[in-house]
Amino acid sequence: MTDAPPPPSGTSGDGAGGPRRAAVLGSPVAHSLSPAMHRAAYAAMALDGWTYDARDVTETELPAVLAACGPEWAGLSLTMPLKRAVLPLLGELDEVARATGVVNTVTWRGEGAAREALGANTDVEGIAGALSPLLAAAPEHGVVLGGGATGVSAVAALASLGCRRVVALVRSPERAAALREVGARSGVAVALEPFAEAAARTAAADVVVSTAPAGAADALAAEVAAASGGGHRGVLLDVVYDPWPTALAAAWRGPVVDGFEMLVRQAVGQVRLMTGAAPSPDLLREAGRAERRRRAAATPAR
């Protein structure tokens, strides 16, 4: 999946386009580490005057916010609940966004009346990139916990890693048709099962991606640990990174990677789309860690 929109006009790794603006939008969004990582990339690329902020924006507010983004805007990162709400507001989607119906990055192309907003999905890149170093071979059987936008991206990511069978554990199967749809487009057979089946299904999986919000999978942790016997053969990616470890990650008896690594990897793709140059994952990883240390130091001890 490489048919991505080109970088926004007037951008380059040497800052030739002049100062530009970017931001992460969502609600809530104050916790986001994206500003620290994107700003570190701008500094390393000598993009003087570029700014990146966090803005709390709801689905209702999104159309007006997007319409107000003038030519000084290089891009937007989108988090929940905006990854699907933005679709009707865009002129074109990249291949991954079309396949998933999920957008986490907006850039623009053209000028004046011909200027249009472009949607891309770098979450798939982020999930696959976080998992790849821990996989000795292409996984055959995957499990996804959760049926939301990130769950859909997880199915597409598992397909890109070679997975051909996925069990999606969801609370409302009737509302998770998008998981089957992206599976069909990606050549993956997706079976929908109740969330309560997680313990049995994860024990036999080659790779598990939990997209459940913080705390949502805690009640399953003890069952998942008990069902593993001597240990889990598969790799677990839990997209939550704060607090860490989650109860599920702590109970997992096998390789584990947290959502922070996914965040780093998807941010590499976002910076590439917004500036035309890809930063080192190590640079963004260290910037994110430094911001986490800063926040921890600023939090009063209880």
Q: String of b and e for 253-289 (b: at least 16 CB within 10 Å)?
A: eebbbbbbbbbbbbbbbbbbbbbbbebebebbbebbe
> Tens digit of pLDDT for each residue in 172-226?
887 789 999 999 999 999 999 998 888 889 988 999 999 998 888 898 888 988 8
| Residue 175 confidence (pLDDT) | 78
132 assigned to some structural domain:
yes
From 83, 201, 265, 285, the catalytic residue: 83
**What share of the chain has pLDDT > 70, as a percent?**
93
Q: Can you tell me whether residue 145 is helix, strand or coil?
A: strand
Kindly state whether residues 231 and 267 are assigned to the same domain.
no
Q: Number of helices and strands (H, E) in the chain? A: 11, 12
Active site residue 83: yes
* pLDDT of 50 above 60: yes
Domain-located, residue 5: no
173 and 242 fall within a common domain? yes
The pLDDT tens digits of the residues spanning 73-122 come to 999 999 999 999 999 999 999 999 999 999 999 999 999 888 999 999 99
Asked whether residue 103 is assigned to any structural domain, the reply reads yes
Taking the C-alpha atoms of residue 24 and residue 104, their distance in angstroms, rounded to an integer, is 9
Residues 81 and 188 in one domain: no
Which structural domain, as residue segments, surrounds residue 97? 21-121+262-294
In a domain, 134, yes or no: yes
pLDDT band at 231 (very low <50, low <70, confident <90, very high): confident
Flag whether 76 is in a domain.
Answer: yes
pTM across the whole model = 0.90
SS3 (DSSP) at 170: strand
Mapped onto helix, strand or coil, the DSSP state of residue 108 is strand
User: What span, in angstroms and rounded, lies between the C-alpha atoms of 227 and 223?
Assistant: 6
Rg from Cα positions in the chain: 19
170 and 232, same structural domain? yes
